Amino acid sequence: MNKLVKKTLITAVLAAAAFALYYNFSLLPGYQDLEKGISDYIITYGLHDTGSLNLITAVLYDYRAFDSLGESTVIFGAVSGIVLILSRKMLPVSSKGLSFIVKRTLGIMTPFIALFGFYVITHGHLSPGGGFQGGVILAAISIIFSIVYGSAFDYRRYSPQTKTVLETGGALTFLVIGLAGIVMEGAFLKNLGFLTAERGTLISAGSIPYINIGVGFKVGAGLAIIFYSMIQKTFEEDF
Amino acid sequence: MLTNLIFIILFMLGFYALIMKTNLIKNVIGLNLMEAAIFFWVISFSDIGGEVSIHKFGETMGKFNDPVPQALTLTGIVIGASTAALLLTLIIELNKFSGTIDRDQIEELND
Amino acid sequence: MSLMNIELILLTVLPVLIAVFMCFSTNFNRHSRNFIAVMGVGIELALVISLFVLNFEAVKNSNFFLQYTLGYTDTPFVINLAMDNLSLFFSLIVTSAIFLIVIFSTQYITAKENIYFALFFLVLASIQGSILTADLFTLYLFIEAITIFTTPLISFEKTEETTRAAMQYLFYGITGGVFFFISMILIYFNLGTLKMAAVAESFALISTPMQLTIIIFFLLALIIKLGIFPIHFWLPRAHSACPAPISALLSGVLLKVYLYIFMRLFWTMIAFDFLVELHLSDFVLNLALVSSLIGHVFALQADDLKKMLAYSSIGHIGMILAVLLLNTEAAFYGGLLHITAHLMMKSGLFLSSGYLLQTTLSHNINDLRGIGHTNRLVFAAFIIICLGTIGMPPLIGFVSKWYVLLAFLKARHFFGAFVAAAGSIIALIYYLRYISHAYETVKEDGKSIKEELLSLKGFFSSTNKMKSVIYIFTILIIIFGLGFKILEMPINTAIFELLNPEKYIELVLGG
């Protein structure tokens, strides 16, 4: 009974809050009528300023690159924290996998998945995509490996140490490009002018592709580390 | 407006799951639902029916959608993913200690 | 290559570099790693102090202002780091406290130091960033970062209790972050800008119901983060579960950073008049006072030393928030002075409790028997800091509480004055309870006080670091209690910023 009362009460409060919010939000003018000083500026001058065709990438890695630095630092910290919380002395691994057919099929598909991941990372300034998205695809390869071939396979290929080195390397790339901005352009994380090339080519848009590559490796390695820390428990029974 | 309605319903459902459900994983799902509702709202509200804000070679483009909310949302998604991973990690750890992921059966989490 | 105001960006980036380095340092020996940690935070402190000393004249005339623009300088859409007197004051006290806490933890933490220090430096980076940033979205990012980085540190000892506390902390923290995000994005949709100064200029243009929504979500987010009454359950658990240096960081430092963000948001960005106009300031003021009373009362029944300290933190933070919300000059003076005092006292208390509890079985009050006999000098320091928290005359706690009380009386807010006075009396009871327990039974003879004094010879030798940090905090509390006028100049300039937000807005927008 007590529980039911609580439930009804909470539901009523939430419904009232929802109603108030809805009423409030319906007063918002449509998006066209809103003040949009910034977005107009970016749409007009974004390509000119950064050389990146993808304006979202221009915002992420150039105008607001500091936010992206903070964001990749958040992943870095979360990975360190998860490793700290779930750390064991030895990583239990399993060499069991799925059936032969699945293994073979995946063996054929893996290079293409990797290629797609690298494509998304390196073309972040030209087409939809970028470091985070491509990094997630790269991390998926590692996860698929451990499901299909058993975690021992992936463990032997890319040991946790390698992944940690990749992750820290990615973070360092971002930081070094930022610091190079101070030395060469006079502001932290400013787009490096000497790297600019013809617009629309693969290596253009200043330092954006390099930041993308750094972030891509960082996110890929970081997510793989998170996955491996989490599955350890599952494989203890195999030992 | 339909967008606002969907946003608020999703948000409140997530909030309800966060505070009322006793299963900790469901709480995480509720939290993620709240975040997802906001991101959905941000993206769909800033959609003015223009093109995706990516230039194409040698073409003059029509009206663009505002790229800033999309960039902010990307950052928000990454933060949401990190927190979800951290929360699930803590739940795994807690399950090891107390053998349950039910809030009601773990003392001191009842409030 | 321009090096104008490069200190601001170094303050945030240097700790990140050190954190990345710490992750690599698994093969280092303990000594050199500790050396790097202390050096890193020492450089931070040196940077902040040099900013203060080099611009002393400007700070004195309260026209100190530094700004660093990231990326394109001539576009309307850049991230700024800005430092005015208020941020300088907070940066100064926070960095000094963290410096001492790092020295303490080099000896206290004996396992997995590399990840511990990596996360610690990431927290330091996000604290500096959230103090310095002039951009709303970056502020959101740093607030979330603080929550995410402190969570693993809370569950550092990996027992059931710490895991539970960390999980609860993360749930509440992220919910607060989600509310913050809603407000932030609503501001962007209404005004088309994320710069705090630009928002401040045109906040009045938003329609009143929308203003109310934005302010309520900001308030909810910060009330959750500050642990004010209806949503305070997580705070004592989280603050008592973690290792002592992290308790000191959370309770002593982080709550002050959230208070700073509160001031930045509600005085600089959203003018305080809006809060008054919407009748929210009185409500929050009374809520904070109730929270203060409840914190002190709960501290009475806490049988765990660290939990008692954490509940007392709720009491003090509620009082500070209430006095700030009075929005008078005297109130700001009392509030900022008490922020400084509480920072020193609570850090000192948590650190000394960490030292004392090394030899006991648990934090429970019954296991503390005789602890005053085995560690006489440290316990004497503990008592002195306790007296400061209660508000005994020669210590800084008395001075700050006196000014808080004066501010409440001047504003003729008698409930607030009652809470401030009652808090002291209740605090006296619960501290005395622990102190009397500590001297209850003599199990064995510890060192005599003379021997302990002699062992102080190696004040900075590696074995005495923890003790010396505790003594430094005690000495600081006595010194500032006697000479609190030293703090008058920085606090008055910080108040100037609170009373004249136009200066900050103008300078940030001006370039």
Every domain of chain A and the residues it spans: 52-238
Q: Residue A168: which of C20, C112, C209 has the nearest Cβ?
A: C20
User: What are residue C135's DSSP bridge partners?
Assistant: C195
Asked whether the predicted pLDDT for residue C351 surpasses 60, the reply is yes
Q: Which pLDDT score is estimated for C1?
A: 43
Could you report the per-residue pLDDT of A118-173, keeping only the tens digit for each?
999 988 888 888 888 899 999 998 888 888 887 777 777 777 788 888 888 888 88
Q: Residue C167: which of B18, B69, B91 has the nearest Cβ?
A: B91
How many helices (H) does chain C have, and how many strands (E)? 24, 2
Q: Residue A70: which of C20, C141, C191 has the nearest Cβ?
A: C141
Q: Interface partners of B (3+ CB pairs, < 8 Å)?
A: A, C
Q: Which pLDDT score is estimated for A34?
A: 66
Question: With a CB-CB cutoff of 8 Å, which residues 136-155 of chain C face chain B?
Answer: 137, 141, 144, 147-148, 151-152, 155
* 3-class state of residue C24 by DSSP: helix
Burial class (CB in 10 A: 0-12, 13-18, 19+), C420: buried
Q: What is the fold of B2-48+64-105?
A: Helix Hairpins (1.10.287)
Query: Do the chains contact at A171 and C20, CB–CB below 8 Å?
Result: yes
- Nearest Cα residue in chain C from B83: C148
Cα distances from C286 to residues C319, C325, C415, C419, in angstroms, run 10, 10, 9, 10
Q: Which pLDDT score is estimated for A33?
A: 64
Q: Which pLDDT score is estimated for A237?
A: 45
* 3-class state of residue C69 by DSSP: strand
Work out the minimum CA distance from A19 to partner chain B, whole angstroms: 9
> Does residue A18 belong to the interface with chain B, where contact is any CB pair within 8 Å?
yes
Work out the minimum CA distance from B24 to partner chain C, whole angstroms: 10
Query: Do the chains contact at B45 and A31, CB–CB below 8 Å?
Result: yes
Q: Which pLDDT score is estimated for A3?
A: 81
- The span from the CA of C16 to the CA of C35, in Å, is 17
Return the HEC string of C87-138: HHHHHHHHHHHHHHHHHHHHHHCCCCHHHHHHHHHHHHHHHHHHHHECEHHH
- Nearest Cα residue in chain B from A132: B78
Query: Do the chains contact at C2 and A186, CB–CB below 8 Å?
Result: yes
- Nearest Cα residue in chain B from A76: B82
Query: Do the chains contact at C174 and B24, CB–CB below 8 Å?
Result: no
For residue C188, the Cα-to-chain-centroid distance in whole angstroms is 29
Q: Which pLDDT score is estimated for C453?
A: 59
Q: Checking DSSP bridges between strand C79-83 and strand C66-70, what pairing results, if any?
A: antiparallel
- Nearest Cα residue in chain C from A34: C190
Query: Do the chains contact at C171 and B31, CB–CB below 8 Å?
Result: yes
Asked whether the predicted pLDDT for residue A236 surpasses 60, the reply is no
Averaged pLDDT of chain C: 85
- The span from the CA of B101 to the CA of C165, in Å, is 14
> Does residue A143 belong to the interface with chain B, where contact is any CB pair within 8 Å?
no
Work out the minimum CA distance from C72 to partner chain A, whole angstroms: 7
Least confident of A91-100, B23-32, C120-129, C471-480: A91-100
Q: Residue C168: list chain B partners with CB under 8 A.
A: 109
Q: Which pLDDT score is estimated for C177?
A: 92
Q: Residue B54: which of A10, A18, A54 has the nearest Cβ?
A: A54
Query: Do the chains contact at B82 and A74, CB–CB below 8 Å?
Result: yes
Q: Which pLDDT score is estimated for C383?
A: 87
Q: Residue C163: list chain B partners with CB under 8 A.
A: 90, 93-94, 97
More confident residue, A31 or C336: C336
Could you report the per-residue pLDDT of C357-383, keeping only the tens digit for each?
877 767 777 777 777 777 778 888 888
- The span from the CA of C244 to the CA of A23, in Å, is 48
When pLDDT is averaged across residues B67-82 and rounded to a whole number, the result is 89
Asked whether the predicted pLDDT for residue B58 surpasses 70, the reply is no
Work out the minimum CA distance from C417 to partner chain B, whole angstroms: 31
Query: Do the chains contact at A14 and B15, CB–CB below 8 Å?
Result: yes
Rounded to 10°, the helix C396-410/C414-438 angle is: 160
Entry pTM: 0.92
Query: Do the chains contact at A233 and B92, CB–CB below 8 Å?
Result: yes
Q: Residue C171: list chain B partners with CB under 8 A.
A: 18, 27, 31, 87
More confident residue, C72 or C15: C15
Could you report the per-residue pLDDT of C412-426, keeping only the tens digit for each?
888 988 988 888 889
Q: Which pLDDT score is estimated for C49?
A: 92
Q: Which pLDDT score is estimated for C42?
A: 92
Question: With a CB-CB cutoff of 8 Å, which residues 206-225 of chain C face chain A?
Answer: 207, 209-210, 212-213
Least confident of C31-40, C150-159, C240-249, C459-468: C459-468
Interface test with B, best of C75, C136, C157, C164 (most B CBs within 10 A): C164
Q: What's the residue count for chain C?
A: 511
Q: Residue C178: which of B38, B72, B97 has the nearest Cβ?
A: B38
Query: Do the chains contact at C192 and A37, CB–CB below 8 Å?
Result: yes
> Does residue C159 belong to the interface with chain B, where contact is any CB pair within 8 Å?
yes
> Does residue C115 belong to the interface with chain A, where contact is any CB pair within 8 Å?
yes
Q: Number of residue pairs across A and B with CB atoms under 8 Å?
A: 112
Say if CB C359 and CB C374 are below 8 A apart.
yes
> Does residue B110 belong to the interface with chain A, where contact is any CB pair within 8 Å?
no
Q: Number of residue pairs across A and C with CB atoms under 8 Å?
A: 148
Q: Residue A127: list chain B partners with CB under 8 A.
A: 54
Q: How confident is the model at residue C502 (pLDDT cuts 50, 70, 90)?
A: confident
Q: Residue B34: list chain C partners with CB under 8 A.
A: 175, 178
Q: Residue A85: list chain C partners with CB under 8 A.
A: 152, 155, 158, 163
Q: Residue A39: which of B20, B68, B88 has the nearest Cβ?
A: B68
More confident residue, A199 or C444: A199
Nearest in space to B4 (alpha carbons), one of C215, C189, A8: C189
Could you say which DSSP state residue C459 is in? T
Alpha helix locations (H) across C278-395? 280-301, 305-324, 329-356, 371-374, 376-390
Work out the minimum CA distance from A184 to partner chain B, whole angstroms: 27
When pLDDT is averaged across residues B85-106 and rounded to a whole number, the result is 85
> Does residue B26 belong to the interface with chain C, where contact is any CB pair within 8 Å?
no
Could you say which DSSP state residue B99 is in? S
- The span from the CA of A181 to the CA of C9, in Å, is 12
Averaged pLDDT of chain B: 84
When pLDDT is averaged across residues C278-301 and rounded to a whole number, the result is 89
Nearest in space to C91 (alpha carbons), one of C52, C117, C64, C122: C52
- Nearest Cα residue in chain C from B111: C233
Say if CB C404 and CB C335 are below 8 A apart.
yes
Enumerate residues 6+ apart whose C-beta is below 8 A from A152: A93, A94, A95
Interface test with C, best of B29, B90, B92, B110 (most C CBs within 10 A): B90
Q: Residue A7: which of B20, B64, B78 has the nearest Cβ?
A: B20
Degrees to nearest 5, angle at CA C191 with C190 and C193: 130
Query: Do the chains contact at B90 and C163, CB–CB below 8 Å?
Result: yes
Question: With a CB-CB cutoff of 8 Å, which residues 29-58 of chain B face chain A?
Answer: 45-48, 52-57
When pLDDT is averaged across residues A77-100 and rounded to a whole number, the result is 76
Question: With a CB-CB cutoff of 8 Å, which residues 52-111 of chain B face chain C?
Answer: 68-69, 72, 75-76, 79, 82-83, 86-87, 90-91, 93-94, 97-98, 106, 108-109, 111
Q: Residue C141: list chain A partners with CB under 8 A.
A: 67, 70-71, 74
Asked whether the predicted pLDDT for residue C123 surpasses 90, the reply is yes
Q: Which pLDDT score is estimated for C457?
A: 54
Q: Dump the DSSP string for B28-57.
A: HHHHHHHHHHHHHHHHHHT--S-B-SB--T
Cα distances from B91 to residues A85, C155, C422, C439, in angstroms, run 11, 12, 40, 41
What does the CA dihedral C241, C247, C250, C256 come to, rounded to 10 degrees? 140
When pLDDT is averaged across residues C248-268 and rounded to a whole number, the result is 91
Q: Residue C24: which of A34, A78, A168 has the nearest Cβ?
A: A168
Q: Residue B75: list chain A partners with CB under 8 A.
A: 60, 67-68, 71
